[in-house]
């Protein structure tokens, strides 16, 4: 197990470096000029431009720029944005907000996704099953930004149940964006749970449990659900790793100052250090959660062995 984790971490390192170089190269090597983007409409005096270019190593060859960046990175320095604020400070400020949003979304996925999936498996081809099939198809088809807009308008504006945007009301204002962020995965969780649960309920051990006279509730929860949830847990874990990417759209529409909004603003302003820093961190979480899931898989399902 330890060896397995070690090997996976070792394999993750070149991927992490590769991704950060990919983003770095895109931000710094392509024609867009970050200093010009910074200046906006007002032209900067040439001395200021020269100083800014020197400060951000923009005149070095690309690979040298990247190595300088890496050297700084390993000393825990993620660089500064053009206004002089350390990128690490931005992350420390924004990450907790996105983390809270992700927690709300995961709770939605678990509660609604799994419940719907289990009920569908128990009452296959009932009206409820068909309702879930149709509504998950619709949720998957409607683009997230349209969904966000609909939720904002219906639940926030018309019915007035939830705040429309911003985070002034703490956790409460995260319910609507959390629901939107979770919507797509909720649909997948429901379908995955349905398939997996239906398969488990037809398995021999469940039939045996029933024949022993165990109550139906116990059969479903202890013998069925426990086994059926293994692929679902895997999906949710991997989804958690991908959530920061999904948060870009949600946070932009709902005006939530999280990490997704931060990277969106940074991309638009072409603030290289911020983009590279945040994306590298996102990829790190992505790889990390996938590793956690793979390890967890073995814990949940003792049949799986790591050599």
Q: Which of 2, 14, 74, 170 binds other proteins (CB under 8 A)?
A: 14
* Strand ranges (E), the chain: none
CB of 184 to other proteins, least distance (A): 10
Our finding on whether 22 is near other proteins (CB under 8 A) is: yes
- The answer to whether residues 184 and 144 touch, using CB atoms and an 8 Å cutoff, is yes
CB of 223 to other proteins, least distance (A): 23
CB of 13 to other proteins, least distance (A): 11
CA distance 77 to 247: 25
Query: H helices then E strands: how many in the chain?
Result: 14, 0
Question: What would the DSSP string read from start to end of 246-266?
Answer: HHHHHHHHHT--SHHHHHHHH
Type and span of the H or E element at 195: helix 175-201
Residues with Cβ within 8 Å of residue 188, at least 6 apart in sequence = 113, 136, 140, 235
CA distance 273 to 56: 9
* Strand ranges (E), 87-217: none
Our finding on whether 32 is near other proteins (CB under 8 A) is: yes
In the bound state with other proteins, the residue whose beta carbon lies nearer, of 19 and 234, is 19
What string marks each residue from 137 to 176 as x (binds other proteins by CB under 8 A) or -? xx-xxxxxxx--x---x---x-------------------
CA distance 23 to 280: 8
Our finding on whether 99 is near other proteins (CB under 8 A) is: no
What string marks each residue from 229 to 248 as x (binds other proteins by CB under 8 A) or -? -------------x-xxx-x
CB of 70 to other proteins, least distance (A): 16
Helix axes 87-108, 259-268, angle to 10 degrees: 130
What string marks each residue from 36 to 75 as x (binds other proteins by CB under 8 A) or -? ----------------------------------------
Our finding on whether 35 is near other proteins (CB under 8 A) is: no
Which backbone phi and psi does 86 adopt, to 5 degrees? Answer: -65, 140
Which residue ranges make up the site for other proteins (CB under 8 A)?
11, 14-16, 18-19, 22-23, 26-27, 30-32, 137-138, 140-146, 149, 153, 157, 242, 244-246, 248-249, 252, 263-264, 267-268, 270, 275, 279, 282-283, 286-287
């Amino acid at each position: 197990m330890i060896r397995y984790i070690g090997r996976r971490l070792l394999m993750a390192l070149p991927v992490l470096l590769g991704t950060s170089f990919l983003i770095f190269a895109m931000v710094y090597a392509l024609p867009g000029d970050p200093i010009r983007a910074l200046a906006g409409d007002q032209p900067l005096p040439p001395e200021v431009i020269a100083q800014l270019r020197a400060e951000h190593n923009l005149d070095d060859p690309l690979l040298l720029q990247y190595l300088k960046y890496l050297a700084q990175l390993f000393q825990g320095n993620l660089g500064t944005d053009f206004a002089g604020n350390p990128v690490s400070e931005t992350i420390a400020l924004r990450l907790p907000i996105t983390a809270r949003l992700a927690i709300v979304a995961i709770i939605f996925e678990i509660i609604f996704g799994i419940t719907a999936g289990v009920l569908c498996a128990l009452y296959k081809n009932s009206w409820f099953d068909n309702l879930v099939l149709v509504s998950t198809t619709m949720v998957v088809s409607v683009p997230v930004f349209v969904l966000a807009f609909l939720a904002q308008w219906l639940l926030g504006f018309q019915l007035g149940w939830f705040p429309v945007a911003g985070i002034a009301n703490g956790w409460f204002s995260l319910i609507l964006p959390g629901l939107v962020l979770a919507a797509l995965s909720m649909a997948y969780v429901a379908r995955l749970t349905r398939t997996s649960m239906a398969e488990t309920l037809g398995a021999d051990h469940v039939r045996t449990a029933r024949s022993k006279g165990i109550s139906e509730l116990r059969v479903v929860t202890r013998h069925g659900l426990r086994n059926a949830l293994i692929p679902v847990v895997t999906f949710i874990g991997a989804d958690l790793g991908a959530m920061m990417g999904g948060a870009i759209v949600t946070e932009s529409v709902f005006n939530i100052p999280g990490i997704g909004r931060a990277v969106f603003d940074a991309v638009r302003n072409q603030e290289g250090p911020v983009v590279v820093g945040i994306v590298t961190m996102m990829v790190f979480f992505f790889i990390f959660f996938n590793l956690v899931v793979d390890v967890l898989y073995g814990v949940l399902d003792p049949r799986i062995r790591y050599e």
